[in-house]
Structures are given as structure tokens and as C-alpha cells.
């Protein structure tokens, strides 16, 4: 049922004492609240949560959520991205989560599914109200405008994914226009062959990376990044380094300068590790450690991260870091606009085999394998 026309579906109210006494039990009616604002561009048609469970764990309750929602685009714009915020308790570790969907193409009046599968933790002493609150945190439209509070700051992520998707769809459309169906087939098969033939080194990311102290490893030393620059990038790398010992590169930082005439709020650096044989890892990301960068035109800043990367062979054996390569992967301006590298820029020799294809390019390749060239053509026509 709908609540007062506010786009809110109540699936129940509270978890009873009898359920808390059990080790595991289904979530009762009233335990999940889907909250959509009055001006929400989507409405909730239905929700099922019969597979969700609650489990008592000492003074806490573990909520194993399996929700299936059916939403409808009731706005006038096409939806290309969406984020739902899921909360059982604001301040408890493990009490919040989210679900983001990118590369959507939902027209006005169209219906689409959203699944939420996650575990949340909630102290048992909290009484009253629903166990789980689900809010719409943001919607990205086809023209890259945005609706919602964006409390999780996913607007940048959704926008970057959409710009990558637009870039890569245009790439394949251009191939089709210039060379026809067979040229498009060769291009997508080339992408599939390239992906299946790669044997990159594996990288393990360690947040708050610790210094290497093993006596079996060489002494830690500072190693400079080899920087790849793009002429059209609004932010250019100036210098960068990390502490390297054996197979670990720790606490990397890259100094950057804002070459544009606009305030920059976020910079993300991609970096690639190479071993002594010249083999490369798939590019990892180094987001700015500053929540609000505020990099003015002509100014410089240091993009730092308290992180370590460990380099391994595909068989899981540690392999020493010999070289580090960095490039500007993403820039967000103060107005929310996002810059990403062009496909031509990513074809630089140092990057060609290390930068993974976008999620959209992988989706199109999988669609070709499933439905053939005609299925791919039909998909490209939708955009």
C-alpha cells in the first residue's frame, strides 16, 4: 500500500521480541521502509523481501537483506543511473550500504527492477520504527543532470560511468558508420580476443597500507612515477612517488596542477605497476584523499592516499615492483561536470594493455557473444 501519496511503501513496523529470541527468522511485516520524496522521478510499484532474514548475534542483529523492487520512471527524462541508500543504523559500523546502477536507459513511463542484496548490522537495544530504511539518493539523467541529495557522493561515479559509456558507444557507432556491420564485428571480436589473451599481473589493494618490515625483502625506498600526460586533460601531473619494497608500493602521492579556468573538486589518478620482466598490472585507481580538493585554476595540489598495492603473478606469487606509471583518470569540476580521457588517449603504449575496458564495453561484448552482431546493432540503436 502507498502511504499518504508520498511514494512510501510500508512493509511493516518492528521486529518483535519473539523474533529477537530466535537465532534466525524472516523479517516480519513492517521492518522495511522504502521512502521516496514527493518530487521523486521514480515510483515504487512493488517490493518483495521474503528471502530476507534476521539473525541475533550477541548485542547486535544481522540483517541479511534480499529485496526485489519494481520501480517506474514517472519523470520526463531518460534515466541513465540510480543510487539507493540502505540504512539500518546511522552510526554503527556495518549499519549502512548502497546500491548503484549505471548504464541504464529507462525512458519515461518505463518499468525496471532494482535488487538489494547485502548484510547490515543493527544494535538490538534500538527499539521502534522500521529495521531498514531505503532512500533514493540520486538519479542521473541522459543529459548528465542529476536529482537527489547525493549524500553518498555517487553523482561523480555515475557521471563518469555514463561518460565512459557514451564515449565507447560512439566509438562502435563510428566504426559501424565507416565500415559497416563486418567492421563492427571485427572490432568487437578484437576486444574479446584482447581481453581473453591478457595475462596481467594481479594487484591487491591494502587500505591504510603498513610499511614492509620483513627481513626477506629489500629496504624500502622512494620510487618516482613515470607520468603519462594527455593534452586535453584539465589537470596535469607534475611529479609523483611511492615507497617501494619488494612487491609493495605504499603511500603513493602525485602532485598535480589545474590547467583549466575552473575550480576542481576531485582528481583520480590511475597507476600501473610493472615487474622486472616488464609485465604490467591492470591499472588501479588512486582517488584523492581530500574529501574537498578545491583546486583553483593555476594552483597545484598533492593527491595522496594512505594505501598500499601488492603485486603478484597470476599464480599468486609475489613479484617485485620495478616501475610505476601514473595518468589522470578522472577530474570533477565544482559544478559536478566530469572529465575522462578519450579512447585515443588510452591507446598510449604505456596504457593500451593495462587500462581495463569500461563496464559498458564489457556489456556490449557480452551482448554480442549472447545475441550476435544483430543483437549488438539493436542495442546501439537504443542510444
Residues 62, 51 share a domain? yes
The whole-number mean pLDDT for each consecutive block of 10 residues of the chain, a chain of 383 residues, reads 38 39 72 94 95 84 94 97 93 88 95 96 74 96 96 94 96 96 94 70 77 61 92 94 91 93 94 90 78 89 85 89 93 95 93 89 94 96 91
Residue with cell 547485502: 118
Residues 324, 256 share a domain? yes
Residues 161, 119 share a domain? no
3 state DSSP class of 20: helix
Residues 290, 176 share a domain? no
Q: What cell was used for 249? A: 608500493
* Within a domain: 163: yes
* Within a domain: 3: no
Residues 255, 193 share a domain? no
For residue 325, the domain's CATH number is 2.60.40
* Within a domain: 1: no
pLDDT digits (tens, 9 = 90+) for 267-306: 999 989 999 888 999 888 877 766 678 899 999 998 887 7
Residues 24, 42 share a domain? yes
Residues 97, 38 share a domain? yes
* Within a domain: 338: yes
Residues 365, 344 share a domain? no
Q: What's the pTM?
A: 0.85
pLDDT at 128: 64
Residue with cell 541504464: 104
Instruction: Give the whole-angstrom CA distance, residue 246 versus residue 240.
Output: 19
pLDDT at 182: 95
Residues 209, 145 share a domain? no
Residues 219, 124 share a domain? no
Instruction: Give the whole-angstrom CA distance, residue 80 versus residue 142.
Output: 6
Residues 292, 166 share a domain? no
Among the candidates 152, 172, 187, a domain finishes at 152
Buried b (16+ CB within 10 A) or exposed e, 37-72: eeebbbbbeebebeebbbebeeebbbbebebebebb
pLDDT at 96: 92
Residues 72, 121 share a domain? yes
* Within a domain: 78: yes
Residue 232 burial by CB count (10 A; 0-12/13-18/19+): exposed, middle or buried? exposed
Owning domain of residue 289 = 202-352
* Within a domain: 16: yes
Amino acid at each position: 500500500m502507498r502511504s499518504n501519496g508520498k511514494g512510501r511503501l510500508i512493509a511493516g513496523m518492528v521486529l518483535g521480541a519473539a523474533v529477537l529470541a530466535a537465532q534466525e527468522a524472516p523479517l516480519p511485516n513492517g521492518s522495511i521502509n522504502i521512502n521516496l520524496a514527493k518530487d521523486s522521478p521514480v515510483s515504487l510499484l512493488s517490493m518483495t523481501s521474503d528471502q530476507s532474514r534476521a539473525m541475533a548475534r550477541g548485542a547486535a542483529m544481522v540483517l541479511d537483506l534480499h529485496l526485489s523492487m519494481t520501480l517506474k520512471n514517472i519523470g520526463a527524462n531518460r534515466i541513465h543511473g540510480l543510487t539507493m541508500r540502505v540504512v539500518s543504523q546511522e552510526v554503527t559500523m556495518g549499519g549502512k550500504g548502497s546500491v548503484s546502477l549505471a548504464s541504464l536507459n529507462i525512458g519515461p513511463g518505463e518499468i525496471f527492477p532494482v535488487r538489494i542484496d547485502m548484510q547490515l548490522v543493527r544494535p538490538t537495544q534500538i527499539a521502534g520504527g522500521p529495521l531498514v530504511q531505503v532512500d533514493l539518493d540520486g538519479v542521473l539523467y541522459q543529459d548528465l543532470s542529476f536529482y537527489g541529495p547525493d549524500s553518498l557522493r555517487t553523482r561523480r561515479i555515475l557521471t563518469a560511468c555514463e561518460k565512459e559509456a557514451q564515449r565507447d558507444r560512439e566509438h562502435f557507432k563510428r566504426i559501424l558508420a565507416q565500415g559497416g556491420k563486418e567492421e563492427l564485428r571485427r572490432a568487437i571480436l578484437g576486444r574479446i580476443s584482447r581481453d581473453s589473451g591478457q595475462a596481467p599481473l594481479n594487484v591487491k589493494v591494502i587500505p591504510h597500507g603498513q610499511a614492509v618490515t620483513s627481513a626477506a625483502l629489500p629496504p624500502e625506498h622512494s620510487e618516482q612515477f613515470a607520468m603519462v600526460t594527455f593534452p586535453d586533460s584539465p589537470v596535469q601531473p607534475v611529479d609523483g612517488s611511492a615507497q617501494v619494497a619488494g612487491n609493495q608500493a605504499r603511500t603513493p602521492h602525485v602532485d598535480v596542477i589545474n590547467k583549466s579556468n575552473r575550480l576542481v573538486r576531485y582528481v583520480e589518478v590511475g597507476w600501473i605497476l610493472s615487474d622486472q620482466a616488464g609485465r604490467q598490472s591492470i591499472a588501479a585507481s588512486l582517488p584523492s584523499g581530500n574529501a574537498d580538493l578545491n583546486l583553483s585554476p593555476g594552483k597545484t595540489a598533492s593527491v595522496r592516499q594512505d594505501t598500499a598495492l601488492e603485486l603478484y603473478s597470476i599464480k599468486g606469487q609475489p613479484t617485485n615492483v620495478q616501475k610505476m606509471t601514473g595518468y589522470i583518470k578522472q577530474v570533477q569540476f565544482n559544478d559536478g561536470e566530469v572529465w575522462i580521457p578519450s579512447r585515443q588517449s588510452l591507446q598510449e603504449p604505456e596504457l593500451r594493455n593495462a587500462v581495463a575496458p569500461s563496464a559498458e564495453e564489457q556489456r556490449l561484448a557480452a551482448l554480442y557473444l549472447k545475441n550476435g552482431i544483430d543483437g549488438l546493432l539493436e542495442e546501439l540503436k537504443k542510444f
